[in-house]
């Protein structure tokens, strides 16, 4: 019965009852008390923690030049309800939920909170059934595309922000100066300073001159309290 869902998930459970538990909403469990059917709430609790460490580890090792504040923002954006319900929809999780009659009749299969909670419960079920490596492989499927898109679309343009501030004062001159290079050709690092009227107001490193300029502008903005 659940083979199609397992195919969508990319994981086959040794213990099918774990998956069934992950799909069981509290409304269904309450109606089926006499059958000792537990809800997915405990799994959701565990899944939230597992998702948090996997997403943090992914960001730390895959995006080594992203500053801590941005890492925190990115992780929060992935583990929020809006993102999780989107992941749940990609694997058609709503089709397989076990809901009570009330939730079934009021559109529970499409409710964002229910889908997000069930997705976290599935992560926990995979973690218990196959260990951390299995849960990590599952979450990484979603992390790859999610973080790539958010880093591309959500990255601040620090150079433009700094330029707009400087332009408010006529006659101010902003200049980026390459002051150093290090490392082999295949992994070169650049050091750039940003100067305002020949005074250094920030410095940054990066794998390209463009990235180093962005980091220099970021430091300048930070020192300005922006």
Is 44 a known ligand-binding residue? yes
List the catalytic residues: 48, 120
The 3-state secondary structure of the chain reads: CCHHHHHHHCCCCCCHHHHHHHCECHHHHHHCHHHCCCCCHHHHHHHHHHHHHHHHHHHHHHCCCCCHHHHHHHHHHHHCHHHHHHHHHHCCHHHHCECCHHHHHCCHHHCHHHHHHHHHHHHHHHHHHHHHHHHHHHHHHHHHHHHHHHHHHHCCCHHHHHHHHHCCCCCCCEEEEEEEEECCHHHCEEEEEEEECCEEEEEEEECCHHHHHHHHHHHHHHHCCC
Is 41 a known ligand-binding residue? no
Is 120 a known ligand-binding residue? yes
Q: Which residues are annotated as a binding site for Mg(2+)?
A: 44, 117, 120
Q: Which residues are annotated as a binding site?
A: 44, 117, 120
């Amino acid at each position: 019965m659940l083979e199609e869902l397992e195919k969508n998930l990319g994981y086959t459970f040794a213990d099918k009852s774990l998956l069934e538990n992950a799909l069981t909403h509290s409304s269904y469990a309450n109606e089926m008390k006499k059958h000792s059917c537990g809800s997915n709430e405990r799994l959701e609790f565990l899944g939230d923690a597992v998702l948090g460490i996997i997403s943090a580890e992914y960001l730390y090792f895959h995006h080594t030049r992203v500053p801590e504040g941005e890492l925190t923002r990115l992780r929060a954006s992935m583990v929020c309800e809006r993102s999780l319900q989107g992941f749940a929809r990609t694997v058609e999780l709503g089709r397989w939920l076990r809901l009570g009659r009330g939730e079934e009749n009021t559109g529970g299969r499409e409710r964002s909170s229910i889908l997000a909670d069930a997705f976290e419960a599935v992560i926990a079920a995979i973690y218990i059934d196959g260990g951390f490596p299995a849960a990590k492989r599952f979450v990484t499927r979603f992390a790859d595309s999610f973080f790539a898109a958010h880093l591309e679309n959500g990255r601040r343009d620090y150079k433009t922000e700094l330029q707009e501030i400087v332009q408010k004062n006529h006659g101010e001159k902003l200049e980026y100066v390459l002051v150093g290079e290090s490392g082999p050709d295949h992994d070169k690092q650049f050091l750039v300073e940003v100067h305002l009227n020949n005074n250094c107001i920030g410095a940054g490193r990066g794998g390209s001159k463009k990235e180093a300029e962005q980091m220099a502008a970021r430091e300048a903005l930070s020192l300005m309290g922006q």
